[in-house]
Amino acid sequence: DAGVTQSPTHLIKTRGQQVTLRCSPKSGHDTVSWYQQALGQGPQFIFQYYEEEERQRGNFPDRFSGHQFPNYSSELNVNALLLGDSALYLCASSLAGQVITFFGQGTRLTVV
């Protein structure tokens, strides 16, 4: 059973550029959440997608957007990258209405 898979593993972007990160949820899961984890910090909730709609959103600017596809996979887009966006971006999946959440290995984004 494949768990949560993310791509790419690492990414280096220049300030001002745009980036797209991808995620496939654990088999059988229909809800995808994205988290940002800065070095030495716990993950911070960005947003959650269910039935292709954004259901919840954390305290992140509109530069952060996402999408969920009919097969439940998801993308995270970040526009106008800032140096402070450098972090580990984690995708997590769960079943709707259940809190138990599984994480992918993350995409490490470095903005230079």
Residues that bind another protein (CB under 8 A): 4, 6, 33, 35, 40-45, 48, 55-56, 58, 88, 90, 92, 94, 96-106, 108
Between 20 and 45, name the residue whose CB sits nearer to another protein: 45
How far apart are CB 29 and another protein at their closest, in Å? 13
How far apart are CB 30 and another protein at their closest, in Å? 13
Provide the β-strand partners of residue 20.
Answer: 77
Size of the chain in residues: 112
Provide the β-strand partners of residue 65.
Answer: 77
Of the candidates 59, 31, 62, the one whose C-alpha atom is nearest the C-alpha of residue 46 is 59
